[in-house]
Amino acid sequence: MSVSEKVAYLRGLMEGLDLDENSKEAKLFSAIVDTLDEVASDMSDLEEDLADLNDYVEELDEDLGDVEEFVYDDDDCCCCDDDCDCDCCCDDDDNCIEVTCPACNEDICVDIDDIDDDGHVECPCCGETLEFEIEDDDADEDSDDE
């Protein structure tokens, strides 16, 4: 039974008491039932508004899912803002090497100039420290000449 139905039932009980309409008790009961009727009406309005808001939130959730799929699409390159396979990053740069990060399995481009003296560089996708062996080409050429 809804709140409105319960208030209507109370109103029927009150009218069934055959109280004198001018008595204090009848005025009190009438005021209480009128107040309950207004509360029930307000609750009904709130329930309708809540249903509308719930529908709206579900639509927003679906739209947000679409935006997340677009923004966080797995086809995006992790080292630049373009959709690529890192070919666009490395085509013009001879100092760039393409490697697969062992931690996140993403193909990334590493600029040789970004590798520190110890041979370490952070993966731009997951932040894992990668280690490289740097060979000095000038030293190799000098030892070959001797």
pLDDT at position 88 is 45
Per-position DSSP letters for 85-108, written without gaps between them: SSHHHHTT-TTEEEEE-TTT--EE
Q: CB-based contacts of 113: which residues, under 8 Å, 6+ apart? A: 95
- The full length of the chain comes to 146
Q: Are 121 and 138 in contact (CB under 8 A)?
A: no
Read off the tokens for 48. Answer: 């309708």
pLDDT at position 78 is 53
Q: pLDDT for 20-68, tens place per residue?
A: 889 999 999 999 999 999 999 999 999 999 999 999 999 999 999 999 8
Mean pLDDT across the chain: 80
Residues 18, 21, 24, CA angle at the centre, nearest 5°?
Answer: 105
Half-sphere exposure of residue 132: CA atoms within 13 angstroms, side-chain side: 21
Whether this model's pTM surpasses 0.85: no
Residue 86, pLDDT above cutoff 60: no
pLDDT at position 47 is 95
Q: What backbone phi and psi angles, to 5 degrees, belong to 32?
A: -65, -45
